[in-house]
Amino acid sequence: MKKTKYQDLRGRRRVVVTGMGVISPVGHGHQQFWESLVNGKNGGAKVVSFDTSPFRSNVACEVKDFDFNKYCDENTRNKFSNAGRASQFAIAAANLAVKDANLGNWLDTCDRSRVGVILGTTMGEVQILHEIVRSLAGSGMPESTIYQHYVLHNLPQSVARHFRLQGPCSIVPTACASGNYAIGMGCDLIRNNKAETMIVGGVDPIDSIVFAGFSRIFSVAPELCQPFDKNRKGLLVGEGSAILILESLEGAVNRSAKIYAEIAGYGLSCDAYHMTNPDPNVKGTYNAAIAAFEDANLSVSRVDAIIAHGTGTPANDRTETRMIKKLFGDEAYKIPITANKSMIGHTMGGAAAMNAVTACHILSDGYIPPTINYQTKDSECDLDYVPNEARKIKANLVLSNAFAFGGNNTAMLIKKYEETIL
Amino acid sequence: MSDAINVVCTGMGVLTPFDESLEHLLTALPMRKPLTSSIGSVPGISENRTGIDSGWGSCSIPGKLFSDIQGSKYLDKCTKLLYSAVSQFLTRKDIEGENAEKIGISVGTAFSTIKDYIDFILSFEKDGFRGLNPMLFPNIVHNCPASQLAIILKISGANLTLTNGFCSGLDALTAGFELIKNSRVTSVIVGGVEENSLYSSTGFHHCLRHCEHSSLYPVEAAGVIRLEEESAALERNAVIYGRISGYAQSFFPGMNRDDISWSELIENTSYKATESAKISFDEVGSISLSINGLMSPDKAELKAVGRMLQSSKKPRALIALKKLIGETSGASGILQTIVALRKPMIPLQQHYHDCLPEEFTRKHGERLADTMEGKYALINNINWEGNVTSLIVEAGDLRKSVN
């Protein structure tokens, strides 16, 4: 059968990004988020949502000025007023993305069984579980209705209910790489014609239990997140949500949608090594990247920029640098690498989706955001991390890494949309 | 997704309160062995404060399995349940000759390691930050069991976790199916698991009472199957239990004036699954129902199936596994698939007639006690909050037909 411009070289339906929504520690809406990144805005601040006195650090990247009511109509407000912070983040970001994609009218008339939701998360509605357990351990019984707000599948369901969608609806809790899983799985559903449009992304809120967990394994930086810096001391816990609208290219063109970028391919792997430590031999992370290039049918030499997982922990940044060198050889030194976690913290389930939004803007706006707080070069991390200032760049292909507890590795390739395949 | 790649099942294992093996489960099914046992307690929470007066079915984990696993004292229970089920048909040694990078893991679970999660929070509340055991922090992430299984078995392909309530198991299976069809791996260990916990128990109890549902009986279990590219399975002359033929997924977003009903959505999803498998509904010999005692989803499913059967000339065997072994949540889809592939004798199904439409009962009621029959089985998973997954499997050793 003759291939059309709507199919990739393997005959699969091409998948494009037509809308983005972000609720983040450095601003809401993808445009504000992007401007903050390019300007090197630091989202870290003293935690206000819980008491940090027991901890060594009191800094995190919380979402500020979030008013759920701003992002929904009265009906949604009433329906989700008791929902957890994660659900509210996700609904707000999805609303922004749907609006950005100008999908509203189309959703009213489309076959809603062909539109679905896949979200990633690390902890889900951890604040609600925390509240339930406090009640069970204390003097009172929790409200019976609160239980339904904790279950993880409630997150994508909230979004699907909000838009009355009937397509596949899933939550992929593969921790800090889960956003890439959600984007990849949504992409496959469209490629394989099991869906026409997918709302995908990730979400996580901050809670004291998350802060305590990361602190207890000595992963939290005292003040600044300094990815790839010699004196890096760890991550800053972040929160938020990023949502992307994925559509078949054919559908997007038919409804004259603005196309931000194309999903070229993705790869998954597992270290099978340790629950929290990355494999120093970088076999797993390397395999995920290779799988992404195979999926995209592209050679590694095509990459123009990398959005690193770049958490700021000594082990992650060292092994990620090693993996990039293994993948690109000497060319690794020529590819600009940004670590947006230096600004937004580690937003866990939201992280990979925020990377994807960053990638779309790099491709369309011609800048790569900086890795801020970079002061001292590390001999083991000696690549170009775009220190402290954004840089002009002409990019056609961006690699976005996301790794997770359990050694769940992902690599996402996002490319500039061109009518004919590059 | 390649039509040229067929996906078959080449291994299976289960751990349920019935006993420690699949064969015991299949034997025990017709005997309706009672499952009630005491619920797992959570330190710091008094049982008599939860309002739970009935126990769960609890599994007995063979401890000897874990004696040579490093750090096994920190392993969460879901991992132990899963590994106990896997080890019935697969060990690390068995896959040493294979490319571990091309083997994936996909796990479905509704609540994952909820007991460790709660223990961690309780420890934090009671002893503060410094009282937390750092070794237990990784246990509270939901992808812990799938990741631990990869570490134990040294499986380094794609590693997935899905938590879609009662659909988790089938959704993990369909995700594994997609991994193979999309050539990301050649084989996937697909698991469904649920551990008993006071949280889930109180959650079900209070949610369901709130919703005026009452008869769900939660049970702890793990089920694991190995999916493999058919060509690879044939090449290594593996036992083939059947083929995964197709599937469909949907979500019921609730009642709106212009929305279809839940039963219509379930019916559509079932038909879409047959389309995906490239068969007609008339070729489906048996239907493994999702019904578990929850009023709304049960009614919706039976109404959907009733309509489908009325529009078809052929009678079918209906199986409601959850009415026999309880609601195993994340494990249920895998257990239903295993039973559909093995086609054991299924005893008379109880409690159907109250839910079935009268005309359906008149026409098909006498056929409810049956063996699973026919080449294809339709398996339904319906979540209490709207997810619907339908899977089509083709049972039987395909080596004979291929050869």
At residue A399, does pLDDT exceed 60? yes
Query: A366 to chain B nearest CA, in Å?
Result: 32
Q: In whole angstroms, how far apart are CA A273 and each of A173, B97, B154?
A: 19, 19, 8
Residue B257: predicted pLDDT: 52
CATH class for the region spanning B244-402: alpha beta
Q: From the centroid of its chain, how far is CA B72? A: 25
Q: Which residues contact B367 (CB under 8 A, 6 or more apart)?
A: B315, B316, B317, B318
To the nearest whole Å, the CA of A25 is away from the closest chain B CA by 23
Q: Model confidence over A318-349: pLDDT tens digits?
A: 999 999 999 999 999 999 999 999 999 999 99
Of the pLDDT bands very low, low, confident and very high (cuts 50, 70, 90), residue B164 is: very high
- Interchain CB distance below 8 Å, B125 and A137: yes
pLDDT classification of A387: cutoffs 50, 70, 90: very high
What's the one-letter identity of residue A130?
A: H
To probe the interface with A, which of B116, B136, B159, B259 has the most A CB atoms within 10 Å?
A: B159
- Residue B290's nearest CA partner among B333, B339, B330 is B333
Q: Do A212 and B132 touch (CB under 8 A)?
A: yes
Q: Is B125 on the interface with A (CB under 8 A)?
A: yes
Nearest by CB: B162 against A170, A291, A407 = A170
The ipTM (two decimal places) reads 0.97
CA distance A240 to chain B (A): 18
Do the Cβ atoms of A373 and A228 come closer than 8 Å? Answer: no
Contacts of B140 in chain A (CB under 8 A): 123, 213
The CATH number of the structural domain formed by B7-235 is: 3.40.47.10
- Residue A176 annotated among the catalytic residues of the structure: yes
A303-327 burial code (b ≥16 CB/10 A, e <16): bbbbbbbbbbbbebbbbbbbbbbbb
Across the interface, whether the CB atoms of B143 and A174 are under 8 A apart is answered yes
Closest residue, chain B, to A113 (C-alpha): B250
| Integer Cα distance of A362 and A356 in angstroms | 10
Residue bearing tokens 């000595």: A218
* Nearest Cα residue in chain A from B125: A134
Cross-chain residue pair A215–B161, CB shorter than 8 Å: no
Residue A11 banded pLDDT, cuts 50, 70, 90 = very high
Chain A residue numbers touching B158 (CB-CB < 8 A): 268-270
Q: What is the largest CA-CA distance in chain A?
A: 69
Query: Mean pLDDT of all residues in chain B?
Result: 82
Element (H, E) at A107: helix A104-109
Residues B143, A54: C-beta atoms closer than 8 Å: no
Query: Which chain B residues touch A212 with a CB distance below 8 Å?
Result: 124, 129, 132
Determine contact: B134 vs chain A, CB below 8 A: yes
- Which residue reads 């209490």 in tokens? B384
The tokens describing B289, both together, are 């129902």
User: Could you state, in order of their start, the residue ranges of all structural domains in chain B?
Assistant: 7-235, 244-402
**A293 alpha carbon, distance to own chain's centre:** 19
Cβ–Cβ of A157/B387 closer than 8 Å? Answer: yes
- Could A174 and B155 be called an inter-chain contact, meaning their C-beta atoms sit closer than 8 Å? no
Query: Which of these, A185, A171, A241, lies nearest to A30 by C-alpha position?
Result: A241
pTM for this predicted structure: 0.95
Q: How far is CA A89 from CA A65, A97, B283, B366, in A?
A: 12, 12, 45, 51
Q: What are the chain A neighbours of B147 within 8 Å (beta carbons)?
A: 270, 275, 405-408
**What is the distance of C-alpha A81 from the center of its chain?**
25
pLDDT at site A7: 95
pLDDT digits (tens, 9 = 90+) for A265-305: 999 999 999 999 999 999 999 999 999 999 999 999 999 99
Q: A interface mutation test: which of B143, B149, B180, B258 has the most A CBs within 10 A? A: B143
Chain A touched by B155 (CB under 8 Å):
yes
pLDDT of A217 reads 92
User: Would you give the DSSP letter of residue A236?
Assistant: -
What confidence score (pLDDT) does residue B367 get? 45
Of A116, A212, A406, Cβ closest to residue B141: A406
Catalytic residue among A28, A149, A162, A309: A309
Chain A's closest residue to B253, CA to CA, is A161
pLDDT at position B365: 45
Question: Residue A385: pLDDT above 90?
Answer: yes
Residue B292 CB neighbour total at 10 angstroms: 25
Query: Cα-flanking dihedrals φ and ψ of residue B217, to 5°?
Result: -120, 100
Of A122, A129, A174, the CB nearest to B160: A174
On chain B, the residues whose CB falls within 8 A of the CB of A55 are 129
Q: Which helix (H) or strand (E) holds B389?
A: strand B387-395
- For residue B119, the chain A residue with the least C-alpha distance is A133
DSSP string, A251-280: HHHHTT----EEEEEEEEEE--S-SSSPPT
Closest chain A CA to residue B175? A185
Residue A99 gets the label, from left (phi > 0), alpha (psi -120 to 50) or beta, of alpha
Query: If we measure between CA atoms, which residue out of B220, B219, B148 comes closest to residue B189?
Result: B148
Cβ contact A145–B140 (<8 Å): no
Per-residue pLDDT of A214-260, as tens digits, reads 999 999 999 999 999 999 999 999 999 999 999 999 999 999 999 99
Closest CA to A92 of A241, A311, A275: A241
- B130 contacts chain A (CB < 8 A): yes
CB of B302 within 8 Å of any CB in chain A? no
pLDDT at residue B357, rounded to an integer: 47
**Active site residue: A346, A360, A361, A381, which one?**
A346
**Inter-chain touch A216–B163, beta carbons under 8 Å:** no
Mean pLDDT of B63-76: 83
Domains of chain A as residue ranges with CATH: 15-261 (3.40.47.10), 265-415 (3.40.47.10)
What span, in angstroms and rounded, lies between the C-alpha atoms of A179 and B102? Answer: 22
Residue B134 Cα, gap to closest chain A Cα (Å): 6
Q: Is the pLDDT of residue B201 over 70?
A: no
Highest mean pLDDT among A338-352, A408-422, B328-342, B382-396: A338-352
**For A405-413, what is the mean pLDDT?**
97
Our CA-based measurement puts residue B164 at a distance from the nearest CA of chain A, in whole angstroms, of 5
pLDDT band at B25 (very low <50, low <70, confident <90, very high): confident
Q: Is some CB atom of chain A closer than 8 A to the CB atom of B1?
A: yes
Told to judge if A346 belongs to the known catalytic residues of this protein, a careful annotator would answer yes
A361 catalytic? Reply is no
User: Are B101 and A269 a contacting pair at CB < 8 A?
Assistant: yes
**Is the CB of residue B112 less than 8 Å away from at least one CB of chain A?**
yes
Calpha distance A318→A316 (Å, rounded): 6
Position A106 confidence tier, pLDDT thresholds 50, 70, 90: very high
Mean pLDDT, residues B166-191: 98
* Closest CA relative to residue A194, chosen from A164, A165, A168: A168
**Does the pLDDT value for residue B326 go beyond 90?**
no
Rounded to 5°, the CA angle B247-B250-B256 comes to 155
